[in-house]
Each structure stands twice: as structure tokens, then as C-alpha cells.
Structure 1
Amino acid sequence: MPRWTMSNKMLPNRRDILVGGTALAAVGLGNVSPAQTPVSSSANDRLKIAAIGVGGRGGSNLRTMEQTEMVDVVAVCDVDTRFTDQAVQRHPKAKAFRDFRKLYDAVGNDIDAVVVSTTEHTHAFATMPALQLGKHVYCEKPLAYNIDETRQIAEAAERAGVVTQMGTQIHAGSNYHRVVELIQSGAIGDVSEAHVWVNRAWGLQSEADAKKHRDLLHVDSRPTDMMTPPDHVDWDLWLGPAPVRPYHSVYFPGPRWYRWWDFAGGTMSDLGSHWNDLPFWALELDAPTTAEAFGPPAHSEIAPASMSVKYEYPSRGDRGPVSVSWYQGTHKPEIWQRGEIPRWDSGVLFIGSKGMLLSDYGKHVLLPEESFVDFEPPAPFVPDSPGHHEQWVRACLGEGETASPFRYAGPLTEANHLGNVAYRVGKKITWDRDKMECVGCPEAAPFIAREPREGWSLS
């Protein structure tokens, strides 16, 4: 089992940029990734891509890549033939596959890069072959199903030296950039704690989704009745490395599978990738030392709708230790419950020695507002992004770097998964990043790594 220690310490911060001169200033905070060796050496070339997972989020990713007008789609893959049929209609020259292993066998030498948008439990297995072939990868969040798979993927990307990007699209938004600048320039002083909360539970996008799937959301145990998979779905391939389960509509289609431990990590691994990204980036975090979760007793099959986790992070450089608390569903920070800050449905609150900063995806505010009436923000030092997808495409073609490479996204994903580990063992855990284990807590091991189903391997 890999024991490589990942770190985002090579990502430049504001101090590095100010000291390092124009080269670092041109790259900007968070835009440095591992050594990258683009397959295409000219920015005028077109990127030949394979898209694995082309329905739902995958279809959206593919259409966004197309809009860059810098890609040629060589192959598409999905266990659901409805989606590959639609993709081939848009790209008649693309070869269609159901099994991504066969895609790599057939066209592995004909592509430059891969876009992985499968379900969470197959991310690593669709990504690893690309890295082993030296192909650039864009992978949806979370990077992998558990901590072990995440570590293996990040290590493989480091060895491959290719361009990588995890699909945390909000990372490219100007609002996140401005928040990072404010925190790192000391606008609210030394930050000692951050609180992150999301109103959504599992993978449901809205109240409309919740109403649509209300009957399924009341299912609280593994179904015993049998269902026949639709003709257009290869259920065995959909299961991939996960344990065998008979097909049932409580798992498929998405977002139903988000809530089942065998396939995903619930809201934490889903939205945690987006919302915890902001404090992770702004506070230059790496691996937490401890994590403690709060909520109803852990269910053996289903991720919780509502829960919270408190992480403790050690000092980093000239930054002191910091706690980061996560809340989902009905859980909210006490300061929110007391009405001492605006009661946004979802948000990130930084608490510093000189004030507070509250942010969501698209806006932020310094608090208390009367204390910052005459405040002048720092000159921008995080460059605007051309777009999360386009940034990756351009980097693959030799132009610039990506903002969320696997060397950064890996530790972020691990921390999110660690919150679920703490929740499932039901006690505060101390994390040994190098050994990749919870100290004195052997019962956590099955939640850190698992043996894939026969026929599936990351080696």
C-alpha cells in the first residue's frame, strides 16, 4: 500500500508571489501543479480526448470541453448506451465503448487525454490506466472513492508528470479568488477557525429532486426484492469494483447512489470537494491531525443526511493551528444558529483576530460590516481563470498550469473522506498521514481502503 506523503506546500502563496518576481506572479496562487509534460508541444494543436462517463455531469463536462474548440473527441464510454449514442451523434468519428478497460486497449495510443466523469466508486479505476499510459486527466470530484484510492491516484499522477485537474469548477470562480486574497493578505488577521455548512443532503440538487425521489429516500436498508436492469444499462459494469448487488432503482440512476456507502460518501465527499476547497486553499491546509464527527449513529449501508465534523490542522509556516468544522443538512454552526451572522443556506465562515469573512460560491462579505467600511482590498494576485475546463485543456496543450491538480486535490479529497471515517467509527480519530492509518483505531481500516471486486485492480 502506498505511503507517499502528499503536500500542497509547493503551491505558491501570496508571500511567494511577492518575493518570487514576475514568473510566479504570472502563474498565480494555486495554479502550480506537479511537473507537467504535455503530450502536445504546441498550443496550436488540438487535444485528442476520450470521455469516460458521458451522461449527466459527464455530458456537461464533454459539452464544455467541446466549447473550447480545442479538442477532438476520439472515444466515448458509458455503461448506459443512451448516453454514448447521444455523444456519437455529436461526434460521429468517435468510437463508442461500454467498458473503459476496452477503450484503453483499443484507442489508448490514439489519445492525449481522458475526461473521467463516472460514478464515484469507479473514478480511480477509470483514471489509473490513463496515468499509467502517460495521458493527461480531468477527473470529476471526489478524486476517488476512499483515502487509499485517492493516495494511489495522486502518487500515480506525480510519477506520470502529466497535466491533471479535479472537477471543482467553483475553484475557477473570481469570488473564490478574491476570498483567498483577502485571507492570505491578512484582511481579518490570523484565522483560528473556519466553518463550512451546506443545506443539501446526499446528491440531491434541489427540493424538486427531493420530492421526485421521496419514496426512495425513505429506504433505509438494502432492498431484498429483485429488479431487472434496463436493456440500455450494463449493471455489472456499473458496479465495477464495488461489491455485487442486484440491480435496484434505489441505486440507479443518479443521484440515488450518492447515499449508499458501497458507491459513494454522501454529501461529505460530494459537496465537501467544492465547499471545503475554499478554506483548504485559502489557509494552505494539508492533512488534519484529528477529526471528530457528530450526528446520528452511523448506518451500515447509508451515508447520513445530516452530520458535522471538526478537524484540527497543525501550524503551517507562519500560520498557527486552525480548526475547520463541516456541517451538512440540518447541522449548522452555533454562531449561525444564534443569528450573529447572515443565515445563508450554505456558506464558509472564516474567523480571524481582526474580524470575520463569510462567503458562498458567488459572493462574500467582511464582518462586522461597520468595521470594514473604509477597507481597501489587496491588489489582485490570483489571476482570473479562462474557465476550469478550458484551463485544463490549455495546460494539456502546453499553455499555463491547472488550478486544482491532483497534488492539491488529493489531500483535499483525503480530508473529506477522513470526516466520513470519523463518523463511521463513532469517535475522535488521530490521523497518521504517512502511515495512512488512524492511530490506535484498527476498526477504521475498512473505511480507509477496501479490496476491489475480482477482475478489478489499480495495479
Structure 2
Amino acid sequence: MSQIPDSPSRREFIKHSAVAAATFMIVPRFVLGGKGYTAPSDQLVVASVGVGGKGESDVAAFAKTGKARIGYLCDVDDRRAAKSVAAFPQAKYYKDWRQMLDKEAKNIDAVSVSTPDHNHAIITLAAMQLGKHVYVQKPLTHDIYEARMLTEAAKRYKVVTQMGNQGASNDGVRQLQEWYDAKIIGDVHTVYCWTDRPVWPQGIPWPTTKAALPPELDWDLWLGTAPYREYVDKLVPFNWRGWWEYGTGALGDMGCHLLEAPFRVLNLQYASTVQASVGSVYVDEFKRGYFPESCPPSSHVTLTFPKTNKTKQDVTLHWMDGGIQPERPEELGPNELFGDGGNGILFVGKKGKMMASTYSADPRLLPVSRTQEVHVKQTIARVPGQAGGHYAQWVEACLAGYGNKAVSSPFEMAGPLTEALLMANLAIRGYDIQRPKATGSGMDYPGRGIELVWDNKQMKVTNFDDVNRFVKRDYREGWKLGI
């Protein structure tokens, strides 16, 4: 395939479109192709890492904007990559993202990352350090430390960033924000977010049955930063979500979609305390299962956030997964849907309540009849295409250059949001930490029944040190977060 030259004029156009438009070296698109034609110099060259499943739809969404050219595809599994490779035959294909960045950096403008959670940060930071704009699927990172590093890196390297929680571009969250700003429900003090996830295995022992490694899969590259293990069947492409070494459970999968609205509406930042209770499974008639490598089948986590410029007091946020739901509001009719049935968001204010479904869709005041009765002025600009426009918004911001066009989920917001989810996971993992009992008989669970106190500046829990090892995990030898 032909390479786009890394000429000064092109680079200047990508970073400073207003300046580049004035130079004679860029041929106007109408001269080249008539109305609707997008000249190569107007296109963002995107390299995508992880191009199967969600990555496949991400790549297609970037291309659909008409302003992005898919120049490079990268995946550790040729089977998963096959559809994207067929859809973009002109894109050069790599298995190792490190080789791709090393060889093609001068030809790439932006990088999309849609890998399992445990490899998000290392790929993203490497791209940012090369000056590439980045789009990263949710959750932003696997660890709290990684999220903080990417948040700081976005400012340091001055690149356009976006997390792939597409609901952040929906009209629904903006409607919730306008209702709240108009003081329709009064000061919010409590929020509930819940999901019916997981829909993959959790709360189970690590498989012991050996499986043949598919020849199309580079297992060592898939493991990346995680400790080495022998390949097991059905972990790829989806069930990795339920294992702590790779995924972040239901919180990582749905939390970015459900907590985004409270963060935006109430301007939440970093939580100060967190506590959890978790469900367990029965191994047999008399014994409950303890499988610390696997996320639990259900959990209820309570986070406390300090008051902000949008609240008059601290905010208590409840997270529930595995089908657990909060008590139905008394304002909701017995046959009216709570959230969307399986997932939802509920804001409790001093004067009223409002709720929404997944991705902040279908926002409603309670009782539901108020939704049509209450009218407030639209004060917040909508994103064209809503969730579908999340991709185009990022592409256009990259073309405009850092700081010139807003996006819905920049790392400035996505970083603290991700940290909150991962703090909730600290409490969940701490719940099942075992120690031998002082009597020498059996095991104790010292993390149960306590509230973890978080020192945000030091990035550590101050009253239960056992969980701090999960704040920043150790990468496998040969892998390093290039700070």
C-alpha cells in the first residue's frame, strides 16, 4: 500500500488546521473531487489495536465518518481480525503493536485501543508519547495507578483523548444535567447505579482442563503485561472479563456507562471512602466458594464523594451488579419500568428524583408524568449523532488539534471516572482477602465489614494496606509502563 508522506505541510494541517488551510501546499478538496470529497490531507490516519469484536465496530465507526482513513490494523488473533482485515484491505496488518508503532509512527496520526483491559494503559501511553491522539475503549485502564498516569499524560503530551463510553455523547445525560442545573430535583445526596451484568462466568475456579492453543493466536502477546499462564479454552475472546488478572468485572464493563451521568451532572471527582459486600457461590451443599482470582458473581459497593461545586454535601453512590437492584422509588408505578429493567441510574435529590437507562438513555423525572410536564431551557449543546457521533466527535477534534474542539469523554473526565470504578474493585477484592486466624484454626477475612479510607494524593488506602497492591500491579518481566 502507498504510504502517506510525513511532510511538514500535512503534519501542520493535522495539528493546526486553520493555519494549514492558508498554505498553498494543500490543494482544496473541491478542486480534487468536487462536493463531498475529502482530500487525503483532511483525513486522520488511524491505527487500531484490537480489531475484533468491539474493536471491529470501532474501526468501522471511524471509517464511517469519512474523515478518517484506517491505515493500520493490529491484533494478536488473526481469527478475530479477519473481518476488519477484509473490510480494509489497504490497511497494513501487524500482530505486535510495538512493531507497528516502531515502524509506522511517522505515518500515523491517531491510535485506537480495543484490547482486554490489562493492556490498555501500556499501549495508550506508548502512543501518547509519540504524540498520537488516542481513543481507548472502556474502562480506560485496569489499575488506579494507570488511570492517573494516563490522565496526567494527556495534559503533558497535548493530544486529543476519548474513552469509548459512547453514552457520554447521548442527549440523555445532557437532559439530566439541565434538569439538575434548573434545580428541578434539588440538591442530590444519593445516587444508585445497577446492572444485570456479569453475563460471563465469575465466581469460579481457574480451569484445570488443558486446551490446544489456536495457531492464529499469539498467546504471549495476548497476555502482555499479565503473568504467564498456560492457555485455557474460552478465555478468549470474552470471558477474560471475569478474571482479575485481565478484566475488571461488571464495574469495568458497565460502570463507565452508568457512572458517567453522576460524574457529569454532579461534577464528581475522586471518592474518599468505599465499602463493599459481595455474593458467593455454593461449591456443594455445605460449602461456599472462595475463588480470589475471579470477580464475584454479584456485589454492592458504596462510594462517598466529597461535595463539589454542584452539591451542597457529600454524595453517596451505590453500585450494584449481578442483578441486585435498589428499592423501587415510591414515585414509580408498580408496572413502570425501573431503569431499563436490567440496568439503571437513579438520582435522589431533596426535592425529587430522576432516573435513566443504560448509556443515560430515556431520562425521566419521577413520577414519570413529570417528564412531559416540566420544561427547562436547553443550555448544553448536543452531539450530532449522539452515541454514534462519539467517534466522529473525536476524529474532528483530532483534525482540529489539541485544545481546539471539545470531546465528551476526555481523559480529564474519563480518568477520575475510571479511578472510582477501580476503587470500588479495591473494596470488592479486599472483601475476600484471607489471613490465618490468630488461633491457628481456619482463615479470617480482615477486609470484610470495614470502610476503606482513600488518600487521593498518595493513591493509597490508609487503613487497610493489604489492598494497596491492587492499586498498581507488577507487570510481567519484559513489559513496562513507559513513564
Is TM more than 0.5 here?
Answer: yes
1:387-406: per-residue Cα shift (whole Å, max 9, x none)?
10000000000062211001
Question: Within 2, Cα distance between the matches of 1:413 and 1:354?
Answer: 30
Does the C-alpha gap of structure 1 residues 337 and 237 become closer, same or farther in structure 2, counting only changes over 3 Å?
A: farther
- Would you say the 8 A contact 1:48–1:110 is kept in 2? yes
Question: Within 2, Cα distance between the matches of 1:114 and 1:416?
Answer: 24
Q: Which residue of 2 aligns with 1:313?
A: 305
Q: Which residue of 1 aligns with 2:380?
A: 381
Does the C-alpha gap of structure 1 residues 331 and 244 become closer, same or farther in structure 2, counting only changes over 3 Å?
A: same
Q: Which residue of 2 aligns with 1:151?
A: 148
1:296 equivalent in alignment to 2:271: no
Residue 134 of structure 1, aligned match among 107, 117, 131: 131
1:198-277 correspondence runs (5 A): 198-201=195-198, 204=199, 217=201, 220-254=204-238, 256-277=239-260
1:401 equivalent in alignment to 2:406: yes
1:354-393 correspondence runs (5 A): 354-361=351-358, 362-369=361-368, 374-386=373-385, 387-393=389-395
1:411 equivalent in alignment to 2:416: yes
Please tell me the residue identity of whatever aligns with 1:95: K
| Higher mean displacement: 297-306 or 172-181 | 297-306
Question: Within 1, Cα distance between the matches of 2:329 and 2:216?
Answer: 47
| Higher mean displacement: 438-447 or 114-123 | 438-447
Does the C-alpha gap of structure 1 residues 332 and 107 become closer, same or farther in structure 2, counting only changes over 3 Å?
A: same
1:108 counterpart SS class: helix
- Would you say the 8 A contact 1:40–1:396 is kept in 2? yes
1:57 equivalent in alignment to 2:62: no
Please tell me the residue identity of whatever aligns with 1:415: A
Superposed CA RMSD in Å reads 2.1
Please tell me the residue identity of whatever aligns with 2:317: V
Please tell me the residue identity of whatever aligns with 2:205: S
Instruction: Figure out how many residues of one structure are paired with residues of the other and give that number.
Output: 409
Q: Which residue of 2 aligns with 1:423?
A: 428
**Matched residues, percent identical?**
35
1:458 equivalent in alignment to 2:457: no
Please tell me the residue identity of whatever aligns with 1:445: N
Give the C-alpha shift of residue 218 in structure 1: 7.8
1:325 counterpart SS class: strand
- Would you say the 8 A contact 2:203–2:297 is kept in 1? no
1:109 counterpart SS class: helix
Question: Within 1, Cα distance between the matches of 2:57 and 2:323?
Answer: 30
- Would you say the 8 A contact 2:426–2:470 is kept in 1? yes
Give the C-alpha shift of residue 225 in structure 1: 2.9
Residue 63 of structure 2, aligned match among 61, 66, 75: 66
Question: Within 2, Cα distance between the matches of 1:136 and 1:346?
Answer: 32
Question: Within 2, Cα distance between the matches of 1:419 and 1:442?
Answer: 16
Please tell me the residue identity of whatever aligns with 2:410: P
Question: Within 2, Cα distance between the matches of 1:338 and 1:367?
Answer: 6
Question: Within 2, Cα distance between the matches of 1:174 and 1:372?
Answer: 15
Give the C-alpha shift of residue 122 in structure 1: 0.5
Does the C-alpha gap of structure 1 residues 38 and 269 become closer, same or farther in structure 2, counting only changes over 3 Å?
A: farther
2:73 counterpart SS class: strand
| Higher mean displacement: 434-443 or 396-405 | 396-405
- Would you say the 8 A contact 1:38–1:395 is kept in 2? no
Question: Within 1, Cα distance between the matches of 2:202 and 2:469?
Answer: 26
Does the C-alpha gap of structure 1 residues 393 and 318 become closer, same or farther in structure 2, counting only changes over 3 Å?
A: closer
Q: Which residue of 1 aligns with 2:325?
A: 332
Question: Within 2, Cα distance between the matches of 1:218 and 1:303?
Answer: 5
Q: Which residue of 1 aligns with 2:21?
A: none
Does the C-alpha gap of structure 1 residues 181 and 85 become closer, same or farther in structure 2, counting only changes over 3 Å?
A: same
Does the C-alpha gap of structure 1 residues 76 and 337 become closer, same or farther in structure 2, counting only changes over 3 Å?
A: farther
Give the C-alpha shift of residue 416 in structure 1: 0.2
- Would you say the 8 A contact 2:323–2:342 is kept in 1? no
1:16-51: per-residue Cα shift (whole Å, max 9, x none)?
xxxxxxxxxxxxxxxxxxxxx984322871101101
1:437 equivalent in alignment to 2:470: no
Q: Which residue of 1 aligns with 2:164?
A: 167
Please tell me the residue identity of whatever aligns with 2:220: D
Please tell me the residue identity of whatever aligns with 1:261: W
Does the C-alpha gap of structure 1 residues 337 and 222 become closer, same or farther in structure 2, counting only changes over 3 Å?
A: farther
1:52-71: per-residue Cα shift (whole Å, max 9, x none)?
01000000000000100111
Give the C-alpha shift of residue 93 in structure 1: 2.6
- Would you say the 8 A contact 1:184–1:283 is kept in 2? no
| Higher mean displacement: 365-374 or 109-118 | 365-374
2:106 counterpart SS class: coil
Does the C-alpha gap of structure 1 residues 54 and 370 become closer, same or farther in structure 2, counting only changes over 3 Å?
A: closer
2:107 counterpart SS class: coil
Question: Within 2, Cα distance between the matches of 1:280 and 1:132?
Answer: 28
Give the C-alpha shift of residue 116 in structure 1: 0.6
Q: Which residue of 1 aligns with 2:26?
A: none
Please tell me the residue identity of whatever aligns with 1:73: I
Question: Within 2, Cα distance between the matches of 1:372 and 1:385?
Answer: 23
- Would you say the 8 A contact 2:210–2:233 is kept in 1? no
Does the C-alpha gap of structure 1 residues 372 and 242 become closer, same or farther in structure 2, counting only changes over 3 Å?
A: closer
Question: Within 2, Cα distance between the matches of 1:250 and 1:304?
Answer: 18
**Rg comparison, structure with higher value:** 2
Please tell me the residue identity of whatever aligns with 1:232: E
Give the C-alpha shift of residue 373 in structure 1: 6.5
Question: Within 2, Cα distance between the matches of 1:182 and 1:304?
Answer: 36
Does the C-alpha gap of structure 1 residues 85 and 218 become closer, same or farther in structure 2, counting only changes over 3 Å?
A: closer
Please tell me the residue identity of whatever aligns with 1:249: D
- Would you say the 8 A contact 1:277–1:412 is kept in 2? yes
- Would you say the 8 A contact 1:222–1:301 is kept in 2? yes
Question: Within 1, Cα distance between the matches of 2:103 and 2:119?
Answer: 20
Give the C-alpha shift of residue 150 in structure 1: 1.1
Does the C-alpha gap of structure 1 residues 337 and 230 become closer, same or farther in structure 2, counting only changes over 3 Å?
A: farther
Question: Within 1, Cα distance between the matches of 2:242 and 2:184?
Answer: 39
Does the C-alpha gap of structure 1 residues 305 and 385 become closer, same or farther in structure 2, counting only changes over 3 Å?
A: farther
Please tell me the residue identity of whatever aligns with 1:376: H
- Would you say the 8 A contact 2:185–2:352 is kept in 1? yes
- Would you say the 8 A contact 2:186–2:350 is kept in 1? yes
User: Which segments of 5 or more consecutive residues in structure 2 lack a partner in the other structure?
Assistant: 1-11, 19-37, 281-289, 432-449
Q: Which residue of 2 aligns with 1:89?
A: 86
- Would you say the 8 A contact 1:46–1:72 is kept in 2? yes
Does the C-alpha gap of structure 1 residues 385 and 185 become closer, same or farther in structure 2, counting only changes over 3 Å?
A: farther
Question: Within 1, Cα distance between the matches of 2:44 and 2:310?
Answer: 41
